[in-house]
Structure 1
Amino acid sequence: MAKTRSILARQLEARKKIWPEITTEMLWDRRERDGFVTMPRAMPLIMNIMDGLSDKGFPVSQTYLELWCRLYDELFLTLNRQDEMAFFAGFTGQRALRTWKDRVTRLANLGFIDVKSGPTGPLSYAVFFNPYHVIRKFYLKGKVPEDQYRALEIRANEIGASDLDDIDDQGNLIVEDEVPPPPKAPASGQPVRRRIRPVAKAK
């Protein structure tokens, strides 16, 4: 934490020297403002890879980003404002909703999300999977260009994201075995109870 504060202090000092007339009130500080969302630092590259995985002429990343900006930490979304979602994703006109639904379906087919039916039709609910995992699986199938994947590896290493390592070379998610917690030692002064097996009577 001390190192992080030191870097922040140096950055603030450098900014003040370059733009001495700028005040904090003029900037968009998430510590002072509301309306922010958790965003992975590698998202721009992830979005580029997504579009490459989709069919040519059918980019999905803008739709994904719009949905992501509505997410909370549970990574589950109710798709109950579809016309608005389509508009915010950049789709307008008579085919806006149809195009949006096509992009959401493509995201589901690629495995970045899963969708379930409900009151608004086949696309009523969505859950979001770890995009690093999805991209890693596509890379193992030879569907992600080497330069893009290497760039993602380097960027992930820079930001301390180890998610690509969660998928083994066969495309399986590595799940660590849960180790049961050790039994609690009896409090000092309390007698230790032991279960004594009854001795079998001799016949």
Structure 2
Amino acid sequence: MATLKGKAVRSKDIELRDTYFEDAADRLWDRAKHHGFATVPKTMPLLMRALDELSKGKPLGQTYFALFCATWDNGFVRLGRSTDLPYASGFTGARGIRGWQERMKLLESFGFVEIKASGDQKFGLAFLPNPNIVLLNLWEKKKAQGKGPYDPLGLGGLQDSTMSAFLERAIDVGANDVTRAHAKINAAKRKADETQDMPAKPIKARPRRTKAAKE
């Protein structure tokens, strides 16, 4: 549900749009009127950039976007029925299918997709967890691993500038999944720091009992 601030911004944007673009309301693509759409987070362009950074030389952004658009707002894809996925991801021919499968395995290694076999199809079913949270967790993992070695491989390619832009965009659009998860991570860090800074309690040595005391 949109916030009051979001509704106000949207109303002003529509007023400004109609001032400069004639009959815009009749010529745009409107999800309230047209079918066949997927709900995409506004952080998606930066998510795609981050995916390409994670897999240097083997861009993942387009493959992931095609996969995301194959869902019905349920995070689930029957890969065997989506025969156009490799093509939509930029791959053609027999080699192209192998290239697409390679990208899918990379997406799985980073946690952006979970793949299950279906019958004799190794790539049969797919589930896409919240990509905002997956990316945020990868960022925290990279920071925890310092200068490496990185696990998973490719984590070192994730850029500070991209993550800063991602977090800023998440805040701008009111992505509460990101802001809540980020606040939870920061709270856990503060608690860990406070525990580490607490002085250790001295261990009191028990007085040794003499033979006379025992009697």
Q: Same fold, TM exceeding 0.5?
A: yes
Check whether the contact 1:80–1:120 (CA below 8 A) recurs between aligned residues.
no
Q: Does 2:108 correspond to 1:108?
A: yes
Partner residue, 1:166? 181
Superposition CA RMSD, Å: 2.3
Give the structure with the higher percent helix: 2
Partner residue, 2:63? 63
> Separation in 2 of the partners of 1:58 and 1:81?
25
Secondary structure of the corresponding residue to residue 125 of structure 1: strand
Check whether the contact 1:113–1:129 (CA below 8 A) recurs between aligned residues.
yes
Partner residue, 1:32? 33
- Residue 62 of structure 1 and its aligned partner are, at CA, apart by 0.7
> Separation in 2 of the partners of 1:78 and 1:138?
26
Partner residue, 2:170? 156
**Same amino acid, percent of matched pairs:** 31
Structure 1: 4+ residue segments shifted above 3 A: 1-9, 167-170
Secondary structure of the corresponding residue to residue 103 of structure 2: helix
Aligned in 2, Cα 1:128/1:17: closer, same or farther, shift over 3 Å?
same
* Letter matched to residue 162 of structure 2: Q
Matches for 1:1-203 after TM superposition, within 5 Å: 4-20=6-22, 22-54=23-55, 56-81=56-81, 83-142=83-142, 143=155, 144-164=158-178, 165-166=180-181, 169=185
Check whether the contact 1:139–1:145 (CA below 8 A) recurs between aligned residues.
no
Secondary structure of the corresponding residue to residue 139 of structure 1: helix
In the superposition, the TM-score normalised over structure 1's length comes to 0.73
- Residue 140 of structure 1 and its aligned partner are, at CA, apart by 1.9
- Residue 10 of structure 1 and its aligned partner are, at CA, apart by 2.8
Q: Higher relative CO (CA 8 A, sep ≥ 6), structure 1 or 2?
A: 2
In the superposition, the TM-score normalised over structure 2's length comes to 0.70
Aligned in 2, Cα 1:2/1:114: closer, same or farther, shift over 3 Å?
closer
- Residue 136 of structure 1 and its aligned partner are, at CA, apart by 1.9
Q: How many residues align?
A: 169
Q: Deviation per CA, 1:35-56, whole angstroms, max 9, x where unpaired?
A: 22110000000111011112x2
Aligned in 2, Cα 1:26/1:58: closer, same or farther, shift over 3 Å?
same
- Residue 6 of structure 1 and its aligned partner are, at CA, apart by 4.2
- Residue 79 of structure 1 and its aligned partner are, at CA, apart by 0.6
Aligned in 2, Cα 1:146/1:159: closer, same or farther, shift over 3 Å?
same
- Residue 2 of structure 1 and its aligned partner are, at CA, apart by 5.8
Check whether the contact 1:46–1:131 (CA below 8 A) recurs between aligned residues.
yes
Partner residue, 1:188? none
- Residue 4 of structure 1 and its aligned partner are, at CA, apart by 4.7
- Residue 81 of structure 1 and its aligned partner are, at CA, apart by 3.3
> Separation in 1 of the partners of 2:66 and 2:77?
12
Unaligned runs of 5+ in 2: 143-154, 189-215
Aligned in 2, Cα 1:41/1:147: closer, same or farther, shift over 3 Å?
same
> Separation in 2 of the partners of 1:2 and 1:158?
14
Check whether the contact 1:82–1:97 (CA below 8 A) recurs between aligned residues.
no
Partner residue, 2:210? none
* Letter matched to residue 166 of structure 2: L
Unaligned runs of 5+ in 1: 173-203
Partner residue, 2:192? none
* Letter matched to residue 167 of structure 2: E
Check whether the contact 2:91–2:97 (CA below 8 A) recurs between aligned residues.
yes
